Amino acid sequence: MKNMLFSSANLGRYIRIAIVSLFAMFLYAGETNAQVKRISVYFPFGEEKIEFNERLRLLYFIEDSINNKTTYTIHIKGYCDNIDDDAFNYILSQQRADHIKEILLNNGLEIQQVKLCKGYGEKIALNKNANEEERKVNRRVDVICYPLTMSEKEITGYDIEDNTEIKVFKDSISAKDFVEGETLILDNLNFQPGRHILLPKSIPTLKQLLKAMQENPGLEIEIVGHICCEPDKTKDAYDIDTQKLDLSVNRSKEIYNYLIKNGIDETRMRYSGKGASQRLIEIEKSPQDQEMNRRVEIIVKKS
């Protein structure tokens, strides 16, 4: 009987040890597979502080998405619409970034985790600021949280360069529009849903890109595909044609192959897909938001 009691006690002890070990393994797995987390918070016109609902959304993000706050480094980027002059907007965008930084520090993050807190004024816009709906999405601060396991090179590859200006071309492009270091969004390049097949209406824009490459033999580019309607941790979306999770890669490759078939040297180009990891609109509330995230970008490597 004593031996049986001893064995039962030991069995219970071993079970507890096993449970604790498994729990530790899950925690460790969560650390090593940590994803980049990001949120965009939006500001009223001309204001340097967010309203109550946006503050709640930010606080929820901190608690829900960043379980172990100390395992992340933080980049905070402030922006404005194009109302008022450049100098005013640079100051306002920095004030917005500082405001968000203060909220983060008051809610569990440490000052040494914040590696970047910078205002960019109106220069890096997500659109042309053509109307109030477009201006709203530019009155924002982006908070990007990188796991400590990411190297500086990986972070640089994920993040948009500080001095990069995004240009949206809805109608036409030419060789003079390609400036080294800039990112161009080809807004008229559209694909069949769930496929990497271009719609017929996209062909004129594709021909303009080809002409620009032909007219400037020194032009070197990277073609980057993005998708919408998926969680940001999704590596890529399902491609009906390949039956694999490689939709954003295949869409950029489709453009790459078109240029090669029409005489552009492959050494002047490369292609990649970012899935849903680099959204322009964090929370897609409309078909227009989805369209902005479902895009092809041309990064000008050399002009």
Paired sense of beta strands 220-225 and 269-273, if any: parallel
Residue 5 pLDDT: 43
Confidence category of residue 272, pLDDT binned at 50, 70, 90: very high
More confident of the two residues 156 and 152: 152
Range scoring the smallest mean pLDDT among 98-107, 130-139, 160-169, 212-221? 160-169
Helices 203-215 + 247-261 axis angle, to 10 = 60
User: Which CATH fold would you assign to the domain 164-303?
Assistant: 60s Ribosomal Protein L30; Chain: A; (3.30.1330)
Q: Choose the most confident range, by mean pLDDT, from 31-45, 169-183, 227-241, 275-289.
A: 227-241
Residues forming CATH 3.30.1330.60 domain(s) in the chain: 36-161, 164-303
Judged against a pLDDT cut of 90, whether residue 138 lies above it is answered with: yes
Judged against a pLDDT cut of 70, whether residue 187 lies above it is answered with: yes
% of the chain surpassing 70 pLDDT:
82
Nearest residue to 166 via CA among 194, 187, 136: 187
For 161, residues 6+ apart whose C-beta sits below 8 A from its C-beta are 181
Residue 144 CB neighbours (<10 A): 22
| 8 A C-beta contact, residue 59 and residue 136 | no
Using CA atoms, how far apart are residues 168 and 222, in angstroms rounded to an integer? Answer: 16
What's the order of all strands across the beta sheet hosting 166-169?
Answer: 166-169, 183-186, 296-302, 220-225, 269-273
Domain 36-161 coded CATH 3.30.1330.60: yes
Judged against a pLDDT cut of 50, whether residue 31 lies above it is answered with: no
Instruction: Please report the beta strands in 128-241, taking only residues with DSSP state E, as ranges in sequence order.
Output: 140-147, 166-169, 183-186, 220-225
Residue 260 pLDDT: 97
Instruction: Please report the beta strands in 37-170, taking only residues with DSSP state E, as ranges in sequence order.
Output: 37-42, 72-78, 114-119, 140-147, 166-169
- Cα torsion angle, 281, 283, 289, 293, sign: positive
